[in-house]
Amino acid sequence: METPLDNREQITPMPRIGDKAPEFWAKTTQGDIHFPNDYKGKWVILFSHPADFTPVCTSEFMTFAKLEEKFAKVNCKLVGLSVDGLYSHIAWLRTIKDKIQFRDMKNIEVKFPLIEDITMNVAKKYGMIQPGESETQAVRAVFYIDPKATVRAIIYYPLSLGRNFEEIYRALIAMQIADEFAVATPADWEPGDDVIVPPAGSCGIAEERMKIKDNEMECTDWFFCTQKLDKNEVLEAVLQD
């Protein structure tokens, strides 16, 4: 006999990589948004945080705000979310600008939108509420959504762990390069490093690859070939004018 889904099963589903980003309307600190429709043609990093006026979240928002222009230069917008109300968001962001200093950051103004989600409607759509961690706070989720509104990558962090922003940026660039040059990126890839050529699709191509001797591609076996990709070429492909 079937039993109804318990609460955990009802509130933790999340979009999968390759799915269209769930649509929603929301109030934010920068006005109302229709997501992802308002961001057509852009990459978006949609990220959640547990609560306003908490120290780890404060350090993260200051870091994201400091890096906003850097993300904008590679055609990426930032959108934050927590289950707090709009007035709480506004008060917290004003406090960050007026009072908080973290490392070399001071007087930091958060200009990207922060979503009000007191009903948890958006958080539930994106599986940001993880009952094993908290039933009343969103975990630190990061959704990469491409210009076609497709979910391309997802990173989840527990409440206690602040995010690594170098990795968030690196992953974005790597996905853009994969799209632009039809390649993959190896472990610890950074712009300027060799990239991975997709595996051969036939025995004939595999055999031909093993005979290739040039300065652009190197094959150590039929399935493992790398290709040089100049750092300037990478930056030219991702940076906006």
Q: Inform me whether the pLDDT recorded for 201 exceeds 70.
A: no
Residue 152: the pLDDT is: 98
Question: Could you tell me the two tokens for 154?
Answer: 């997802």
pLDDT score recorded for residue 3: 46
* Residue 19: partners with Cβ closer than 8 Å, 6 or more residues away: 150, 151
Binding residues for substrate: 140
* Per-residue confidence (pLDDT) for residue 191, from 0 to 100: 94
CATH number of 182-238: 3.30.1020.10
pLDDT at 215: 60
pTM, entire model:
0.90
pLDDT > 70? residue 77: yes
CA gap 18, 166 in Å, rounded: 24
pLDDT band at residue 27, thresholds of 50, 70 and 90? very high
- The catalytic residue among 57, 76, 219, 225 is 57
Distances 114 to 26, 31, 32, 95, 206 between C-alpha atoms, Å = 10, 9, 10, 15, 50
Higher pLDDT, 94 or 208: 94
3-state SS assignment for residue 152: strand
Over 90: is that where the pLDDT of 122 sits? yes
Least reliable range by pLDDT among 2-11, 98-107, 150-159: 2-11
Residues placed in the known binding site: 140
Q: Where are the alpha helices (DSSP H) in 100-164?
A: 121-125
Give residue limits of the domains in the chain.
Answer: 7-163, 182-238
In whole angstroms, give the CA distance from residue 58 to residue 54: 6
- Is 219 an active-site residue? no
Per-residue pLDDT of 96-113, as tens digits, reads 999 999 999 999 999 999
Any idea which architecture 7-163 has in CATH?
3-Layer(aba) Sandwich (3.40)
Examine the pLDDT at 133 and tell me if it is beyond 90: no
